[in-house]
Structure 1
């Protein structure tokens, strides 16, 4: 639940942290986790302070990564983001709750005006968004995961990232895994995390009776995942791939709700928000989610055109990564019931048929693939 904050204490904290008197402090918004306030200082600057109640370990890690990401972006790109000034994620100091002080970005959400924009304005906005996104490709990282500060808050490091997997139709389990040096390591650990969830299902969700039909179904499903794990370990899935390069990626970059525009000039982007799910990713994962500016094929073409100036092979890499994205979906969407399994199995069969075309038996990686193929037959 959002915290209860004494405004006088909050005002004093802000004035100390920003080293300037606070002219205005007003409620902005709240949700189940936080309450936000808008601040105007005597020199006319606008800030936002986000106050949190009790935050669990998962939420704390996500906030730590979001803070590090925004602080990395501000000096390294010209993407308009809410610059972080001060923060404290403990709940026992200062005002009795965790807080983040950042610049306030006034404007309106692009999704509130997108449908009313003329086609040439949409193209202008899409090109600008793609230009901003292309800046994320100007720097590479050595690991794949989430971005954090080091212990001294002076350097940036790549650390574990959140992976959420289904246990049943109503429950999920969150694991913090990584970072990884390559795609193969990521897929191996992701598959291992899935197998651990399968064990959880076996022990807690379904009866241990090996003759029970539901248990037989689960055990067969687990055998398939183990065989898939062996294929990944053998290197068949990533054989012949281009070398991994890792980039900071915002999965919702271009999402209509993530982009803030000037209400008086709706082609002018004044902010890009929602960095809490940003990750350091290999190129094959850098694909916009749904409900973005780039859902339109013509605007998607503009995105590739602009980013290709920084990463000439992005089109090839995204095409090459189609099978990897399909495999990742399979690992992260293991069916929780027998009724929902057929689509999952069909997608896996399509992948395996593609891999097995030129894979005669006789090598460890090919033999592992044939064992998986036999289980799916």
Structure 2
């Protein structure tokens, strides 16, 4: 049979008309017929490169390095054989479809002659640490499916070591998720159908929040991780080194640091800080794509290794006093350690949720459990992406209301008011369900907004960015009254007597004034970048990726935005050259 290959078609563009802001969501999946193959035949008539390479997007800068991080060569004939073996007895594969690519994996749908289907997932080089990322994903899927009764595709087979795989690459083969992506039907739902979905999502996150682990790292099957680098939790599973993306992105995977497991939240937080210190000592430059501002320009903020190291040093001094201990509850548990490790799905959005085709308000499967670490509840739990929205958030359990003058609004304003009302209602629905079933989770959401919560949540990104803001929060918490209140609040939740320890941080008036000056410069540079991104129609953290069909258009937008930026910011020719030199949306030396 002749093998055919078609370029997969994107079902939606990541770029929207300006001014709407683009959210950094994974690429949506599609199932276009990309090629048919005959079972157990040598595929000499097929050009395999589109299977190995990233074929659905391009990058406006550093493209060669981005493509290299997403290139995987493997044995196509072995892929067919693996699919047939996983599908079961007498399976004959008649078609393999390359599904829409995400940032970290290649996914294929293998169809058998009798209608059976399996999904094969091959990680890209940028997915994380070899072996550990795949092994942990398999264990996590098995654990949440069997132990927590969360609907997850069944793993039919896997190989976490490329050297031992006939495919020549790591892989997971699993059942196809039943149903249809929620993203395809969400906009067609009525309010009550969306409420039903949100209640189920809340139930799933509550299950995750209640499943506590006494160590942090990542979950593995015991046979996939050495005893010397793991902590067994039962006869089947163990906690081993973390697979969290923050430990590998932006070259963090290149530093030699301890990656777990950790027996306490405090030891994990120390490791986070030490990891950032190691990156600062190893690398001369800071990652640009993840920086929130356009830094190092005239009159702007200039990040320095010294400032970043100083913030990390101050953090380590106050860590023993601000780390959450034990929170007491009477609703469900006598004691709830929010420092206990939990599994948490990081991308609960509409593309990773599948629903029943005949009853679309029923969730049938949750996909994408790659790089899910076991981390402290206070560090990892957050509201699902599905219910996030732009607009004011209501305090507590306040019910949303429509404007009293709704009938007098123009059609566009009326539509916006109704959309905000629905978004706020879904948010409230989620919080009510969480309060009923896992009240400690709701407390954690509130805790993340406190000064200690902000510090703990941001300290792991100092190598990239954020040191002026974290420094300002540390300075605020070091003030006499604030310090005493912070210690008292922490002790009260733990049912303990407040500590009388003095704050280990002391700042002079001159230091505080300089901190505020740097914070203002940093904030102004963030505004500069935000304006450029708004003009392009992109999001903070954008790495230049665009769908193939949008490459020329978005490139034109970027060039026009640069011209406007230089006209706004450069006061003379020297400043123009200085801003051009630090323009973040261009090839980095050594990467182009």
What TM-score do you get using the length of structure 1 for normalisation?
A: 0.79
Residue 157 (str. 1) matches residue 238 (str. 2): yes
Q: 2:505 aligns with which of 348, 366, 369?
A: 369
- 1:1-377 aligned at under 5 Å gives the runs 1-7=71-77, 9-30=78-99, 31=101, 33-40=105-112, 42=114, 45-51=116-122, 58-92=129-163, 93-151=165-223, 155-162=236-243, 171-174=250-253, 177-201=259-283, 204-205=284-285, 217-232=304-319, 235-238=320-323, 241-242=326-327, 243=337, 244-253=339-348, 255-288=349-382, 291-293=385-387, 295=389, 296-323=423-450, 324-334=452-462, 342-353=468-479, 355-358=482-485, 366-370=502-506, 376=512
CA distance in 2, matches of 1:196, 1:66: 27
1:20: Cα distance to partner? Answer: 1.0
CA distance in 2, matches of 1:35, 1:137: 29
1:53–1:91 contact (8 Å) kept in structure 2: no
Cα distance, 1:334–1:12 mapped onto 2, change above 3 Å: closer
Mean Cα deviation higher: 61-70 or 264-273: 264-273
Mean Cα deviation higher: 364-373 or 109-118: 364-373
CA distance in 2, matches of 1:131, 1:5: 41
* Secondary structure of 2:369 counterpart: coil
CA distance in 2, matches of 1:3, 1:36: 14
Cα distance, 1:179–1:375 mapped onto 2, change above 3 Å: farther
2:193–2:361 contact (8 Å) kept in structure 1: yes
Cα distance, 1:138–1:265 mapped onto 2, change above 3 Å: same
CA distance in 2, matches of 1:117, 1:352: 49
In structure 2, the gaps of 5 or more residues are: 1-70, 226-234, 287-300, 328-336, 390-422, 488-498, 514-592
1:35: Cα distance to partner? Answer: 4.6
Cα distance, 1:314–1:5 mapped onto 2, change above 3 Å: same
Cα distance, 1:186–1:248 mapped onto 2, change above 3 Å: same
In structure 1, the gaps of 5 or more residues are: 207-213
1:208-261 CA-to-partner distances (Å, cap 9, x unmatched) read xxxxxx9994324422321221221xx1112665233332211223x1221112
Cα distance, 1:106–1:273 mapped onto 2, change above 3 Å: same
CA distance in 2, matches of 1:376, 1:55: 40
1:166–1:173 contact (8 Å) kept in structure 2: yes
Q: Which has the higher strand share?
A: 1
What TM-score do you get using the length of structure 2 for normalisation?
A: 0.53
Mean Cα deviation higher: 256-265 or 56-65: 56-65
1:335-359 CA-to-partner distances (Å, cap 9, x unmatched) read 658xx75445434444445852458
Q: Highest relative contact order (Cα 8 Å, sep 6+), 1 or 2?
A: 2
CA distance in 2, matches of 1:226, 1:288: 27
CA distance in 1, matches of 2:250, 2:168: 32
CA distance in 1, matches of 2:507, 2:356: 58
CA distance in 2, matches of 1:280, 1:341: 26
1:77-124 CA-to-partner distances (Å, cap 9, x unmatched) read 332211101111333433433322111114332223323321111101
- What is the alpha-carbon root mean square deviation over aligned residues? 3.7
Q: Could you tell me which residue of structure 2 aligns to residue 210 of structure 1?
A: none
1:183-221 CA-to-partner distances (Å, cap 9, x unmatched) read 2222111111122222224xx349xxxxxxx99943244
